[in-house]
Each structure stands twice: as C-alpha cells, then as structure tokens.
C-alpha cells in the first residue's frame, strides 16, 4: 500500500515513508473500527484517507483562505466522498 500511495502522490524517494506509514496505520485503525471490516476489504478508501491526511499536514486543516477580506475556512472531517465510501462499507454487528 505504501508504494501505491507514494506513486499516487508522485513521491519517488523514501523521505516520506515514516509519515506515510504512520498515516496508513492510523487510517487503517479508523476505517476498520468504523466499518467493522478487515483491512483487505478497505484498501481503496484507506488510500484516499491517507492521501487526504498527507495533503493536510502543511495546511493544518485549512480548507480555503482569502487575503483581502481575510477569510479562513478549516476542515475537521474527511471529504464527503471518503465518508460515503466508509458508510457504504459499514457492516452492522448484531449482538
């Protein structure tokens, strides 16, 4: 998965491997806990989650900003397409 994510991000060296590995681990934990599915079933959505989180690192959640009117908008959640993907894969466990 690490190599696929690096390719999608255009990363050709190993300089970001540690952070990407940590993001993969965190996204996997989040996705498996939310959907009650195994990692092997969630590969595509985990890759999207990692790429989203990686791209947010320098912006610290900044969604948009303006300069003349000084307007900032911060994102605290995953984008709708990731949320929809997670919800569509969610498995309800009966007690």
Question: Which stretches of the chain score pLDDT less than 70?
Answer: 58-76, 94-95
Is the residue at 84 inside a domain?
yes
Count Cβ atoms below 10 Å from residue 48 Cβ, excluding itself. 20
Distances from the Cα of 35 to the Cαs of 19, 57, 76, in angstroms? 24, 25, 20
Is the residue at 95 inside a domain?
no
Domain extent for 35: 2-89
For residue 59, what pLDDT is reported? 59
Round to whole Å and give the CA distance between 61 and 53: 9
pTM: 0.77
Tokens of 32: 């498996």
Q: How confident is the model over 45-70, as pLDDT tens digits?
A: 999 999 999 988 865 555 555 555 54
Number of domains into which the chain is organized: 1
């Amino acid at each position: 998965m690490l190599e696929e994510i690096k390719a999608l991000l255009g990363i050709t060296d190993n300089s970001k491997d540690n952070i990407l590995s940590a993001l993969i681990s965190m996204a996997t934990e989040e996705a498996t806990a939310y959907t009650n599915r195994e990692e092997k079933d969630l590969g595509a959505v985990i890759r999207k989650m990692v790429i989203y989180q990686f791209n947010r690192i320098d912006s610290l959640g900044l969604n948009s900003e303006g300069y003349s009117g000084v307007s900032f908008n911060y994102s605290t959640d995953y984008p709708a397409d990731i949320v929809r993907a997670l919800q569509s894969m969610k498995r309800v466990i009966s007690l």
